[in-house]
Structure 1
């Protein structure tokens, strides 16, 4: 009897230990934590009382960082499932490591991924198979989650060519599914990034069978004849003439209801739409689709006839709110302009009034801007909305010349059509909100990283000789100068690199590959002829610059823009009043702001006694039930923990390179970790390849 009791006690002890371990082991199973994209975790071992004790638990060198030119990035939000962390390296290879130690289990060796970017991978399993889906270049790969090997029975020997089915006359080859895709049962729902010029591929959303790779359904984001929204394109056939309207930013999924929520990008070309009159559905929309069939349930267009590249930059958040005493399941979309749109998740009805507001419509010849744009009355914007002479910062350098430029510029409202004059966006074309997105907690509070830096551009008439014969210099101006500058010097924040003396950094073969396939944020130029590419390369290498070829760049768009130019002074600081980077808490139940603090700092300014200004930032927040918010994102190469109730900084650590990514949290054997990808490489910061995990001692 005693032996039976002893065995029973041992059994209960072991069972209790196992159950406790299972309860303590919490995963981060998908992009931004869950299908709601909440960036929220219920873990609470790390709390406000002990967060200052965090130390580095392990570091994983993923490999492939471009430390010579600092052009590589890691934007990955790693996922953690059953003690294994899955991520993407600086060389854009998928990998798996032990989540407790960082010890590598496997790393892929896939071809044709160089030059792309990735924000992470997607996990799916059934009783027979565990798979990692990984988008790189124009491919969607299916890997065995245990070994990292391609699953031969999926698609074409383990991969799907995402270009197939979205071609149109005159389109290029560029598509990249760089944001993790969305799982619903045995479907993987796929969007992608396409080019932003008139050669862009179609932006259709597609669902594939997770086992076979077979295409199950397609939603046309540019409608075909007979489909809803067809009449919002006055130039037909729109699906043959135009591209874009693509789901590049990610999606959210309500798995209980079987609804997927998809934000879509601008129609291409982004900055002039005279050739595509009309509101252009379903560009710049939040769309609710039946996840099983792809049938549209409802939509809301956030920007009509976008000519500002004002597409939503991140997945929406699914959250339950208390609106006037009633619990409402909501979907919330933040925007580059600093707006927050809140809808009933089922019906699409706005939960706060949205007003169609008139804006000026004077524009370049041929352009017909929308007379109104939808502006939420609540929640209040999380960024300032206008920039004028009074908004230069008090320590700005070369003030007189900047004020002189401003007097000749177009500025002052959210939606000013771009002309041949300097046109100022505030916040800039990159946000406001950026691809890192916002976090929400169960109380209905949203936490938003943002930037408030003016950006300027102009439209210039394309110059094409009457016989269309052009030399390398002219081809460069037509195809490259908008980003890299007319003088090849790039821009001062490093987002568009200088091409001066490029022959010292790249071979002709390497440049050819970049032009053909694209690299990083640069799209493919496969739509121009080999002869044109060769002349551009010769021009860059200062060879044979007098030779001419017949240009193929004679499309419907008569203008090109002069780039995405952040407005900095001669000392390299934004010209506007700080804060330049912010972290804001908004109560979605009431639409009111809780707090706002700067995110990041310039040490050179704080050393002079200037309070932290915030910096440009890329990456999202992580919120926990213990009252903490973790975020890296800033260009000062720090990760910080904030009190989510007040915005007070509680802990800071220096990273090996800037963490332009979103952090994840998880628990293994009862120990909680915070992990961040430290890839740097943007904003003139050094590139890196490290994943760094923090834990309590």
Structure 2
């Protein structure tokens, strides 16, 4: 692989570059945008700028001095009880006018002095209530002296005065807008949460939202609200209504019942073109689509709309009729390529499959060849998998997409035999093997390829830096039949419900995982009321089930969670019997979880995580390096194993990439030219958030949200700088 060209400023060592790469750098320098220069020093958007580039023009910290980087302040958050489960913040702060704004793992909003880490104010959106919920960032809007932070808190869009932390009363209803209103169905039966912030265009805040990946989910309409008043300005129907483009790709009545197709991963903005670019998820249910036969626009699409009005401009679908949960996991990067001496504005979209789709920003046409290839058919009752799927011929995938038995892990002979037996029992015909009643091996899985941390685009060299994961997954499809008999106990009925709706995340034995908490003996940690509230309303990564569980099912699932032995319930039994007479549904009980062996180790051979440097102009990779390491699983003389991680990279004009998010708790500074790790430090806990970098009074800082510990469950925000 070629070495990425590096910026020479402030370097003590010089690499010999090929002439073509030198010319590439010169062209990039000549084309530096003045807009980025104006924003130099700030980090005013969730991904650094409206283009979601995760890029900074700062270069005080560079390869020649990064080894001297040290912590300069830590803000310890104290909004969770001392005996709480350690939180895992996913929030990337924004920095505007010397103030840093972030959201804790509990969901509180904080304003800090970006230079010292001192708290300016805090805002509790729950008014003293339990709180919780994943929030990955906030948005900033100002008009004269009116400066606001607009962010999601569960199903509400809130506006807070950026200077004093008070609710903005004239925004919506006493500072908030109910996001459940306007999603077609009865608001009281819906779950929606704004985990990734919307994007501000003039006086509009454009938002998507996270929905349940279940039957009965509402549609994920894109909406724009007035930043001053909270008034709804426009709505785009991601599941088209009759007469709208794309309606013909669904069954005629699907617009009344189909759900999903939501933007949970973020969006990007080209303000000069008045265009917003949106990455959309799959339709619901994720793994079975007999009720939504067709291509299902705008599921799994990069969607371009007119930002001021929501009018359709173009779309590009990356998966037809998705039954693998291959959501678009990150916002599109707005990029500029160099082709034959000409600049082309484009959109680069990373995917869970390991593809990069590079599209013309004006038209949505692919700038590299894409081939529609035949894929395996579905054998599920009533299902019709789409016969082809798009495969970009360039760039090559950044994650493994094929698999053989030789790639199964081999920790011991017995262990390998067990994995091999399981693998041979499953259906596997390559990528896009549909879910099947016999079980399906899925590679990459829903946690493979790229994730919500997104990619970073180096504007100097037209290079896209992508974190990738090679994670396998099992799809276990079961019929939703939970009739366990008229005399069944609540425990037995609750166990059936748990197996259908909860086991895929929390495990069949309630042990949890690195992401999802253990539910064993949960009654000793939380009250019955709090447990029921979390189940019904959702918390963190978990959606609410108020629209799924009726009163009887609530009673049954609570009995199972709290291990309440006892007789049957008339209400619960009636519900179970009634459900068994409804139309048969199919559920994946092992979804969203990496396939591991009996001891929790990855079932496939490493590498399991990597960082990739892709030249978007040519479609060729400069380098790929493992990211993270399980020392106990690393074979003698072998390269690092790599680790899964969902946060993304940040790239700077100083020649560095900053990235964390792996289980080894490392924050790393990587040479963007070579992929070499130049500096790393061990954090108090895993930092499952993308970092940011900014400047205050001429000094560059690198700041990151860090997860909680046993001593401080609330976690912290840490800043690093040169001495």
Q: TM-score range by the shorter chain?
A: over 0.9
> 1:87 is matched with which residue: 102, 107, 123?
102
Report SS of the residue matched to 2:166. Answer: coil
Q: Distance in 1 between matches of 2:172 and 2:90?
A: 27
Q: Distance in 2 between matches of 1:394 and 1:615?
A: 17
Q: Distance in 1 between matches of 2:219 and 2:507?
A: 33
Per-residue deviation at 1:523?
Answer: 0.9
User: What are the ranges of 5 or more consecutive residues in structure 1 without an aligned counterpart?
Assistant: 1-21
- Does structure 1 residue 536 correspond to structure 2 residue 552? no
Structure 1 window deviating more from structure 2 (460-469 vs 118-127): it is: 460-469
Per-residue deviation at 1:387?
Answer: 1.9
TM-score by length of 2: 0.89
Whether the 8 Å CA contact 1:484–1:498 is kept in 2: the answer is no
**Equivalence map 1:139-178=2 (5 Å):** 139-168=156-185, 172-178=189-195
Per-residue deviation at 1:496?
Answer: 3.5
> 1:383 is matched with which residue: 399, 417, 421?
399
Q: Name the counterpart of 1:637.
A: 665
Whether the 8 Å CA contact 1:24–1:668 is kept in 2: the answer is no
- Does structure 1 residue 599 correspond to structure 2 residue 623? no
User: What are the ranges of 5 or more consecutive residues in structure 2 without an aligned counterpart?
Assistant: 1-36
Per-residue deviation at 1:657?
Answer: 1.1
Q: Name the counterpart of 2:532.
A: 512
> 2:267 is matched with which residue: 220, 231, 251?
251
Q: Distance in 2 between matches of 1:271 and 1:253?
A: 31
Q: Distance in 2 between matches of 1:448 and 1:65?
A: 34
Q: Distance in 1 between matches of 2:518 and 2:595?
A: 17
Q: Distance in 2 between matches of 1:172 and 1:584?
A: 43
For each residue in 1:28-83, what CA deviation from the matched residue of structure 2 results, as whole angstroms up to 9, or x when unmatched?
01111001100000000000000000010100112335774635221011000111
Q: Distance in 2 between matches of 1:502 and 1:282?
A: 40
Report SS of the residue matched to 1:275. Answer: helix
Whether the 8 Å CA contact 1:66–1:72 is kept in 2: the answer is no
Report SS of the residue matched to 1:198. Answer: coil
Q: Name the counterpart of 1:455.
A: 473
With over 3 angstroms needed to count, the CA separation of the structure-2 counterparts of 1:426 and 1:71, relative to structure 1, is farther
For each residue in 1:637-678, what CA deviation from the matched residue of structure 2 results, as whole angstroms up to 9, or x when unmatched?
110010001100000001111111111000111110000101
**Equivalence map 1:682-697=2 (5 Å):** 689-697=715-723
Whether the 8 Å CA contact 1:464–1:470 is kept in 2: the answer is no
Structure 1 window deviating more from structure 2 (538-547 vs 174-183): it is: 538-547
Report SS of the residue matched to 1:175. Answer: coil
For each residue in 1:607-651, what CA deviation from the matched residue of structure 2 results, as whole angstroms up to 9, or x when unmatched?
966531011102010100011000001111110010001100000
Whether the 8 Å CA contact 1:172–1:199 is kept in 2: the answer is no
With over 3 angstroms needed to count, the CA separation of the structure-2 counterparts of 1:190 and 1:557, relative to structure 1, is farther
Whether the 8 Å CA contact 1:627–1:645 is kept in 2: the answer is yes
Q: Name the counterpart of 1:126.
A: 143
Q: Name the counterpart of 1:627.
A: 655
Structure 1 window deviating more from structure 2 (470-479 vs 556-565): it is: 470-479
- Does structure 1 residue 400 correspond to structure 2 residue 417? yes
Report SS of the residue matched to 1:692. Answer: strand
Per-residue deviation at 1:569?
Answer: 2.2
> 1:550 is matched with which residue: 550, 568, 574?
574
**Equivalence map 1:596-675=2 (5 Å):** 596-606=624-634, 610-675=638-703
> 2:317 is matched with which residue: 271, 288, 301?
301
Q: Distance in 2 between matches of 1:266 and 1:632?
A: 28
Report SS of the residue matched to 2:101. Answer: strand
Q: Name the counterpart of 1:13.
A: none
Report SS of the residue matched to 1:80. Answer: strand
TM-score by length of 1: 0.92
For each residue in 1:325-380, what CA deviation from the matched residue of structure 2 results, as whole angstroms up to 9, or x when unmatched?
32100001000000000000011111001111110103211111000011111111
Q: Name the counterpart of 2:229.
A: 212
Whether the 8 Å CA contact 1:318–1:331 is kept in 2: the answer is yes
With over 3 angstroms needed to count, the CA separation of the structure-2 counterparts of 1:184 and 1:487, relative to structure 1, is closer
**Equivalence map 1:548-587=2 (5 Å):** 548-551=572-575, 553=579, 556=583, 558-564=585-591, 565-587=593-615
Per-residue deviation at 1:466?
Answer: 9.9
Q: Name the counterpart of 2:22.
A: none
Per-residue deviation at 1:502?
Answer: 2.1
Q: Distance in 2 between matches of 1:495 and 1:330?
A: 34
Per-residue deviation at 1:475?
Answer: 4.2
Q: Name the counterpart of 1:493.
A: 513
Report SS of the residue matched to 2:283. Answer: coil
**Equivalence map 1:346-361=2 (5 Å):** 346-361=362-377
How many corresponding residue pairs? 673
Per-residue deviation at 1:602?
Answer: 1.3
Q: Distance in 1 between matches of 2:196 and 2:234?
A: 20
- Does structure 1 residue 135 correspond to structure 2 residue 156? no
With over 3 angstroms needed to count, the CA separation of the structure-2 counterparts of 1:557 and 1:635, relative to structure 1, is farther
Report SS of the residue matched to 1:597. Answer: strand
Q: Distance in 2 between matches of 1:391 and 1:553?
A: 42
**Equivalence map 1:177-188=2 (5 Å):** 177-188=194-205
Per-residue deviation at 1:25?
Answer: 6.7
Report SS of the residue matched to 1:531. Answer: helix
